[in-house]
Amino acid sequence: MTDNVQTLNTGYGYVTTPEQRNKVLRNTYWLLALSLVPTVLGAWLGVATGITRAMGGGLGLIVFLGGAFGFMYAIEKTKNSAAGVPVLLGFTFFMGLMLSRMIAMVLGFKNGPDLIMTAFAGTAGVFLVMASLASVIKRDLSGMGKWLFVGAIALVIGGVINVFVGSTAGMMAISVAAIGIFSAYMLYDIKQIVDGGETNYISATLALYMDIFNVFQSLLALLGIFGGERD
């Protein structure tokens, strides 16, 4: 699983051969597609067993943050070894499990399955647009990273506060902002691969998975708020 890629530091990123960049991009897309399988399994298990139903408020937040950061630390430590892919897939299963609480709530609506498919289609559309833009934009986008990181931190803080406040308006605002920030993150992360700034496909997959997960979750939340139909 180790990628020994020769790189040349250019001051803002790295330059690799087109063949190497295409290999990283191809491996990233394959692993990203594979990572959706454990996510679906985790979400199905959570909905079927109700294991996450009681994890609301502070408990759910602690479990989510502890599990997510623990897995991300493990992925960083194993990304250059044979254990990297299994650890990443374990992380995506965990994220699916954590998502199951929201999915179960949406499935409580009469049109719940339609809302889930709409959120999935919307997320896929955003990804395709950002991937297309990344392939045609020639400008270096590495400077976006620090601003997007600040935005993501602000979202985390806002999300933590809203867990305890329980404001629907707050959730709407956070969801809209998250769609914008993580859509831009998709463009940034794919462009990093295209430009040769990211040469490890496990790290690249993790970044894109988090972008997709957050856009999907936010779209689903908005659709549930605005489009959920009660029986």
Spans of all domains in the chain? 15-227
d(CA 223, CA 169): 14
The answer to whether 203 and 79 are in contact (CB under 8 A) is yes
Mean pLDDT, range 200-224, rounded to an integer: 94
Name the least confident of 44-53, 159-168, 176-185, 214-223. Answer: 159-168
Mean pLDDT, range 209-231, rounded to an integer: 89
**What pLDDT score does 184 carry?**
95
pLDDT mean across residues, the chain: 86
pTM, entire model: 0.86
Mean pLDDT, range 54-77, rounded to an integer: 83
d(CA 36, CA 4): 27
How many other C-beta atoms lie within 10 A of the C-beta of residue 107?
A: 16
**What pLDDT score does 27 carry?**
93
The answer to whether 214 and 98 are in contact (CB under 8 A) is no
Pinpoint the alpha helices (H) of 166-227. 168-195, 201-227
The answer to whether 198 and 204 are in contact (CB under 8 A) is yes
**What pLDDT score does 41 carry?**
96
% of the chain residues with pLDDT over 90: 56
Q: Six-digit token pair at 149?
A: 């990181």
pLDDT digits (tens, 9 = 90+) for 130-146: 999 998 988 888 888 88
pLDDT digits (tens, 9 = 90+) for 9-34: 333 344 467 788 888 999 999 999 99
Name the least confident of 15-24, 117-126, 144-153. Answer: 15-24
Cβ partners under 8 Å of residue 105, min gap 6: 224
